[in-house]
C-alpha cells in the first residue's frame, strides 16, 4: 500500500538561503510532530516549544533535501533555523482538520 505524501516545496528564507523540503510520508509527518512538545497557556494557545533546538535539528535532518551534515546544519543562524521551523510547521499542518473532497 502506497503511503500518502506531502508535496515537495521550495522556499527562500529572509536571509536569501534557499531550502527545499523532501516529500514526507504521513508516517514521517506524525513522527516529526510527535517529537514536538508544545507549551500551552490557560486559553489553550501555544506559547512555546520545549527542546526547541533539538527539535529543529531533528526536523532539518529529516526534511531538508540535500546536505544535512552537522557542518552544514551548523551554518544556519538562529533566525534561519527559526524561520525553517515556522515554514515546516505550516507545511506539515497545512490542511489538517479539513475534509478532503
Residue 89 C-alpha cell reads as 510547521
Q: Do the bridges between strand 46-50 and strand 9-12 make them parallel or antiparallel, or are there none, so unpaired? A: unpaired
Q: In terms of pTM, does the model score above 0.75?
A: no
Residue whose C-alpha is closest to residue 17's, from 90, 66, 69, 89? 66
Q: For 46-59, what is each residue's pLDDT tens digit? A: 887 777 888 899 99
Q: For 46-93, what is each residue's pLDDT tens digit? A: 887 777 888 899 999 999 999 999 999 999 999 999 999 888 888 776
Q: How many CA within 13 A on the CB side of residue 54?
A: 6
Cα–Cα–Cα angle for 44, 54, 65, nearest 5°?
105
Residue whose C-alpha is closest to residue 56's, from 23, 39, 78? 78
The domain limits of the chain are 5-93
Amino acid at each position: 500500500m502506497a503511503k500518502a505524501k506531502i508535496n515537495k516545496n521550495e522556499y527562500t528564507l529572509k536571509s536569501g538561503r534557499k531550502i527545499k523540503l523532501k516529500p514526507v510520508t504521513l508516517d514521517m509527518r506524525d513522527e516529526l510532530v510527535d517529537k514536538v512538545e508544545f507549551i500551552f497557556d490557560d486559553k489553550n494557545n501555544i506559547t512555546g516549544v520545549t527542546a526547541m533546538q533539538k527539535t529543529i535539528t531533528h526536523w532539518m535532518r529529516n526534511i531538508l533535501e540535500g546536505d544535512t551534515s552537522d557542518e552544514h546544519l551548523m551554518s544556519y543562524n538562529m533566525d534561519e533555523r527559526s524561520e525553517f521551523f515556522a515554514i515546516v510547521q505550516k507545511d506539515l499542518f497545512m490542511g489538517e482538520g479539513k475534509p478532503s473532497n
